[in-house]
Structure 1
Amino acid sequence: MRHKSDVLESGSSGTDWQRANEILDVIPNEAGPRLTTFRGGAVYSRRPPGSQTVLAETHFAAVMLAPAPGNRASLGSDRMQEYDAPTGALVIQPANVEGRAVWSSARESVIVAIRPESLLELAAQEFSMGDPELRPPPFGTIDPAALHLAQLLKAELTRAVPPNELYVDSLVTMFGVHILRNYTGMGNPVPGPKGGLSNRSARRVQEFLEANFSCKISVAELAAVSGLSPRHFIQAFTRSFGEPPYRHILRLRLGFAERLLVKGELPIAEVAHVSGFSSQSHLTTVMMKYRGMTPMQMRREGQASIRDSGATASLPSG
């Protein structure tokens, strides 16, 4: 289901205040405790495996509080990326950019909402300029400072007594300043994990892989994109993405093949070819290893799921 949040507009009527509180409605109530504040709000979320599509007029950021393997996500694109989210992984979703997420394991996170007008005000105070353009990090990027703020928010939201709104708003404000300084190009970028790629290099490599994963890619090519020697690149890549380059490329190819199989427009052999696999048997071997089913089974189950979803959506309400 797609959700859309409302933001606080000028004025102080009861209707405006009610709309302001709706900025956290994109997160289901059963996910966990939350609090709406002057600058935005925060939710401590614990959710079972599932999926969600969100398009909101508010900036959102999620910080993982525990490892969550087996994720697929996209931001402003139809192409889903597969990744494992370690503790401290940060995801940023700018306002009015559609985000889709599918997670196969339970996940624990803190989600911070920041009103666009609040971020604009903070940018004016911090850099004497406005209209900051958020630059989300690659999926799976660890941000220790964001994790620290998320842990403080969790502690406040899960107290036995109601959370202190001023304190939560202060943490949301600090989170907003952190985002401005490190994910807008206005300040110094957050360094990547020790021994890993810088966030800037990781972003360049991720963008290159997204555009070329179905082609034959050498370590030397990826190393050149990152600005490292081939000798150091594999270790740095593995530290940043949690898996070696070969495994990461395989994930991208497999995810793309799955989407093509579910669509059902191409023969399986052609799906294997355009996804970057050497043959249909290669695709079958990889899919059996990582998904536990053949391409034909994937196609049948995916299309059956689509049919079931369509039938459910067509049922009358009431």
Structure 2
Amino acid sequence: MQMSIEETAGSRPRAAGSDFPAISGYTEPRVSTSKGGVVHCVRAPQTFTLRSSGDCVVVLLAPVQGFESRSTSGRAHVVDAPAGAVAIVPAGMERYGGWASPLESLTVGYEPGQLGVLAAQAFGLPALKLSWRGFATADDQALQIGHLLRRELLSGAPNALYVESLITALGLHVIRRYSNADSSAKLVKPVGGLSPTVAQRVQEFLNLNVAGKVTIGDLTALCDLSRGHFIEAFTKTFGVPPHRYLLNLRLGLAVQLLSQTALPIAEIAYLSGFSSQSHLTSAMRKYRQTTPAQVRSNGRS
């Protein structure tokens, strides 16, 4: 996708002729996937020009004062934008603007037609129509996805599959909230479970973050469902609620490490997502009717 960006601080040009998903004009953390590209930016006050052959979504990760945007007609729009504010630039549109205070954002560029394909698959929408949206109000769900993307891009070894799933999740949210999609469209099976695509996305996220802090908000951000609807759909799909599913993953990892390594049990507890050795022991005794010491002993016999 051709996405031309010029950003200037004074008269200094920056990043002209960038490509998405390659995002070759950026020096900041970025990842390219088959669906599009994402870049994390922290920029001083400057001006910019944005042109793209594919749809672009920008999510502010922190408030910005005096953000100005202009169309080719010259009409200006100036706002003090909150964290979570979203800007949507449909394919083929050109925007000019700048900001008066430091900016931190996630910019996602989709391959031409990618959001249209997603709209057809998820919502049965024959023709997607996005409209320009400038930074105005906070979008909590977009901000959640933005923080997940930021954390992954800054991890030092971002997982492209996980990033692609988050790009897809943001696309679904944008389609649902900022397009002509039917707001009643559901991303779940008629019986109430998660769709196969969403279920796979959630599984991949949990497998990648088995030892980390995972919240229901992290999971709902992946599939654009309310908290209550998500928990019900997850339970119908996997047979257990999210917290129990994650606990089972952690116990499975702990058993594997106890059986196959000589690591201290306290360290295994930490690596498996438990707060302490006693926490691992109590969970294993309650749900597996055994203890870490017994698992290790059986593994050596």
- Provide TM-score, normalisation by structure 1: 0.50
RMSD: 2.3
The alpha carbon displacement at 1:40 in A equals: 0.6
Q: Residue 121 in 1 paired to residue 140 in 2?
A: no
The alpha carbon displacement at 1:83 in A equals: 0.7
The alpha carbon displacement at 1:123 in A equals: 1.2
The alpha carbon displacement at 1:38 in A equals: 1.0
Instruction: Work out the CA distance in 2 between the residues paired with 1:33 and 1:121.
Output: 27
Matches for 1:79-158 after TM superposition, within 5 Å:
79-158=75-154
Instruction: Work out the CA distance in 2 between the residues paired with 1:52 and 1:25.
Output: 19
Q: Which amino acid aligns with 2:83?
A: T
Q: Residue 179 in 1 paired to residue 162 in 2?
A: no
Gaps of 5+ in 1: 7-20, 190-318
Contact 1:61 1:111 in 2 (8 A): yes
Aligned counterpart, 1:222: none
Return the structure number with greater helix share: 1
User: Deviations for 1:14-69, whole angstroms, at most 9, x for unmatched residues?
Assistant: xxxxxxx9215678423x21011111111111111111111110111111111110
Q: Residue 5 in 1 paired to residue 3 in 2?
A: yes
Aligned counterpart, 1:298: none
Q: Secondary structure at the match of 2:128?
A: coil
Runs of 4+ in structure 1 off by over 6 angstroms are none
Aligned with 1:29 (options 26, 31, 42): 26
**Identical amino acids, percent of aligned pairs:** 35
User: Deviations for 1:283-308, whole angstroms, at most 9, x for unmatched residues?
Assistant: xxxxxxxxxxxxxxxxxxxxxxxxxx
Gap change, CA 1:22 and 1:85, over 3 Å in 2? same
Matches for 1:214-293 after TM superposition, within 5 Å:
none
Contact 1:156 1:168 in 2 (8 A): yes
Contact 2:152 2:158 in 1 (8 A): yes
Instruction: Work out the CA distance in 2 between the residues paired with 1:129 and 1:187.
Output: 8
Instruction: Work out the CA distance in 2 between the residues paired with 1:76 and 1:174.
Output: 30
Q: Secondary structure at the match of 2:101?
A: coil
The alpha carbon displacement at 1:187 in A equals: 3.0
Instruction: Work out the CA distance in 2 between the residues paired with 1:176 and 1:98.
Output: 20
Q: Secondary structure at the match of 1:142?
A: coil
Instruction: Work out the CA distance in 2 between the residues paired with 1:27 and 1:53.
Output: 16
Instruction: Work out the CA distance in 1 between the residues paired with 2:23 and 2:161.
Output: 23
Contact 1:5 1:25 in 2 (8 A): no
Contact 1:120 1:132 in 2 (8 A): yes
The alpha carbon displacement at 1:136 in A equals: 3.3
Contact 1:180 1:187 in 2 (8 A): no
Instruction: Work out the CA distance in 1 between the residues paired with 2:56 and 2:123.
Output: 21
Q: Which amino acid aligns with 2:93?
A: V
Count of residues paired in the alignment: 171
The alpha carbon displacement at 1:127 in A equals: 2.3
Contact 1:52 1:102 in 2 (8 A): yes
Aligned with 2:160 (options 159, 162, 165): 165
Q: Residue 46 in 1 paired to residue 42 in 2?
A: yes
Gap change, CA 1:26 and 1:33, over 3 Å in 2? closer
Aligned counterpart, 1:217: none
Gap change, CA 1:135 and 1:114, over 3 Å in 2? same
User: Deviations for 1:135-155, whole angstroms, at most 9, x for unmatched residues?
Assistant: 233532211100000000000
Aligned counterpart, 2:298: none
Q: Which has the larger radius of gyration?
A: 2
Contact 2:67 2:99 in 1 (8 A): yes
Instruction: Work out the CA distance in 2 between the residues paired with 1:121 and 1:43.
Output: 22
Gaps of 5+ in 2: 5-17, 185-301
Instruction: Work out the CA distance in 1 between the residues paired with 2:87 and 2:24.
Output: 15
Aligned with 1:188 (options 143, 162, 183): 183
User: Deviations for 1:214-241, whole angstroms, at most 9, x for unmatched residues?
Assistant: xxxxxxxxxxxxxxxxxxxxxxxxxxxx
Gap change, CA 1:24 and 1:54, over 3 Å in 2? farther
